Amino acid sequence: MNLTTEQWYVVLLAGAAALLAGGGFVAWWGRRPRDPGEAERRRRAHLNQIGRIVEGHIQEIEEFGVRTPDPLRVPPATARAAQPKAAPPGILLRGPNGQHRVVFYSYSISGVTYETAQDVTGLEERACLERLVAGQPVSVKYDPANPSNSILIADDWSGLH
């Protein structure tokens, strides 16, 4: 069977397309799911490097997570009322006891007020949460290209006064 030059081009093109598709499939199949904690650390590090600083205010500090009250010490009706709130969307990290420590804050840029939160689980020693109160002024680092992306605390920076 003799193939013409045009037929060889078609065969080579089909082979190249098959190799490219196979390589793309292998790359897609082999990628690992990203660890949410690592993604948050990278986001904080990026904002710490490129972020601009603006003044903001603490709105509140909350603990979220699942606690199991001691059934011998707490009556069932009180136990249900003592359960903490469910964590809001976007809260990624968990502390050693399954708790999240979240600081809600606000800041304004060019007349636009942003209200957001940061999960400070794992950063408590830098945060000094026992000294934080609602209304307290803080410094916020934000992304100039996306002002809604911000942090109060990074691994090596803190905007808490």
Give residue 138's pLDDT.
96
Instruction: Report the distance separating Cα 109 and Cα 140, nearest Å.
Output: 11
- Is the CB of residue 59 less than 8 Å from the CB of residue 104? yes
Report d(CA 25, CA 79) in Å as an integer.
51
pLDDT at 49 over 60: yes
Write the pLDDT tens digit of every residue in 98-141. Answer: 678 899 999 999 999 999 999 998 887 777 777 888 999 999 99
Question: pLDDT digit string (tens) for 51-89?
Answer: 999 999 999 988 877 544 444 444 444 444 444 454 454
What residues pair up with 157 in beta bridges, in sequence order? 154
Condensed to tens digits (0 to 9), the pLDDT of residues 13-35 reads 999 999 999 888 888 777 765 77
Both tokens of 32, joined, read: 């690992």
Instruction: Determine which helix (DSSP H) or strand (DSSP E) holds 154, and give its type and residue range.
Output: strand 153-154
